[in-house]
């Protein structure tokens, strides 16, 4: 089976279910496991992803206002790879190339290929996506085994005891945005009481006073697309604001863990559970994913 995954989470899932050998192409953002970097990248962003939060948000809005896609898709490259399966997504057109774009290009270039679309909104959907990707590549039994392990880890992350701290997750810093989709349920699995956006609903732009008014006991800062080092840099400029939101603040590698609907969500939950329980997030399996701040 020859497969192209145009979503970082899908690439991680394919590798987790033992189908790394089936992958022949990826998106520019697919970076884990590290060896997938050897695969040809078939997408390219139209904006500079290294921009700071504010300018990046403005650039994305400008592209959208013009009705243009945020990503370019290499049609010739896709045709040359001749995949049997192309995995894409419809959850967020900002985070990855859109389903409509992939479907149209695939129909023109590789009409025999099957397009598999992932659209996770809840934590359970992420587990179902593992099954979907595994089935599409022909390794369903391995998918079931991975799902069982992830479910076990999520269930065991935070034993129920005592009151749950109120937790707000900031997914963007300028302008501020509260995380939705699967993130509130990830917070709950970590032993917190999520505040802000309801589970399964899209992330929402808010004001800093709106976050403060929620009365969080703890705030997790995990900007979408940012690693931990970049999160530290941008959070430093907002230090007084963030300290006023809650007594405790955790910085997290949102790009790799919390914002990416793949297997490493379990690492994110374990990191948050350790921190919310009074321990150090750095002592979990997600060693490089999070750090108490400042």
Q: What is the pLDDT of residues 84-117, one digit of tens each?
A: 999 998 877 677 788 899 999 999 999 999 999 9
Take residue 38 and report the two structure tokens written for it.
């050897």
Q: What is the pLDDT of residues 266-293, one digit of tens each?
A: 999 999 999 998 755 443 333 356 666 5
Q: What is the pLDDT of residues 107-161, one digit of tens each?
A: 999 999 999 999 999 999 999 999 999 999 999 999 999 999 999 999 999 876 7
In a domain, 105, yes or no: yes
In a domain, 157, yes or no: no
pLDDT exceeds cutoff 90 at 64: no
Residue 292 neighbours by CB under 8 Å, 6+ apart: 248, 249, 250, 251, 275, 280, 281
Q: 258-294 burial, b for 16+ CB within 10 Å, e for fewer?
A: bbbbbbbbbbbbbbbbbbbbeeebeebebeebbbebe
148 and 175 part of one domain: no
200 and 250 part of one domain: yes
Angle (nearest 5°) at CA 131 between 1 and 69: 75
Residue 123 neighbours by CB under 8 Å, 6+ apart: 154, 182, 185, 186, 189, 199, 265
208 and 271 part of one domain: yes
Q: Which helix (H) or strand (E) holds 104?
A: helix 99-109
* Residue 6 DSSP symbol: -
Q: What is the pLDDT of residues 13-61, one digit of tens each?
A: 999 999 999 999 999 999 999 999 999 999 998 888 888 888 888 888 8
Take residue 3 and report the two structure tokens written for it.
């497969």
Give the pLDDT score at 294.
55
Take residue 113 and report the two structure tokens written for it.
């290929």
Give the pLDDT score at 291.
67
Residue 61 neighbours by CB under 8 Å, 6+ apart: none
- Cis (ω within 30 of 0) for the bond into 20? no
pLDDT exceeds cutoff 90 at 6: yes
Q: What is the pLDDT of residues 202-254, one digit of tens each?
A: 999 999 999 999 999 999 999 999 999 999 999 999 999 999 999 999 999 99
In a domain, 158, yes or no: no
**Domains: count for the chain:** 2
Residue 195 and residue 246: Cα distance in Å, rounded?
12
Domain with 233, as residue range(s), is 164-293
Give the pLDDT score at 262.
96
Q: What is the pLDDT of residues 163-179, one digit of tens each?
A: 899 999 999 999 999 99
């Amino acid at each position: 089976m020859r497969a192209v995954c145009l979503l970082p989470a899908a690439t991680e899932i394919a590798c987790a279910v033992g189908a790394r050998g089936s992958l022949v192409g990826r998106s520019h953002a697919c970076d884990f496991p590290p060896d997938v970097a050897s695969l040809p990248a078939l997408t390219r962003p139209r904006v500079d992803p290294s921009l700071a939060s504010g300018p990046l948000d403005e650039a994305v809005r400008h592209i959208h206002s013009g009705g243009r896609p945020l990503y370019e898709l290499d049609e010739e490259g896709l045709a040359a790879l001749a995949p049997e399966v192309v995995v894409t997504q419809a959850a967020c057109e900002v985070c990855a190339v859109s389903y409509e774009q992939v479907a149209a290009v695939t129909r023109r270039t590789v009409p025999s290929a099957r397009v598999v679309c992932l659209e996770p909104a809840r934590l359970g959907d992420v587990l179902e996506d593992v099954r979907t990707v595994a089935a599409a590549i022909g390794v369903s039994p391995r998918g079931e085994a991975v799902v069982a392990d992830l479910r076990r880890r999520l269930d065991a992350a935070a034993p129920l005891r005592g009151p749950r701290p109120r937790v707000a997750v900031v997914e963007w810093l300028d302008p501020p945005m509260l995380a939705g989709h699967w993130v509130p349920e990830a917070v709950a699995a970590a032993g917190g009481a999520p505040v802000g956006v309801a589970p399964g609903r899209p992330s929402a732009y808010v004001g800093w006073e709106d976050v403060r008014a929620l009365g969080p006991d703890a705030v997790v800062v995990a900007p979408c697309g940012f690693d931990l080092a970049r999160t530290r840099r941008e959070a430093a400029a907002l230090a007084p604001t963030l300290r006023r939101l809650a007594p405790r603040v955790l910085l997290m590698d949102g790009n790799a863990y919390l914002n990416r609907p793949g297997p490493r969500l379990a690492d994110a939950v374990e990191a948050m559970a350790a921190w919310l329980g009074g321990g150090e997030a750095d002592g979990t399996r997600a060693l490089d994913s999070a750090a108490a701040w400042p």
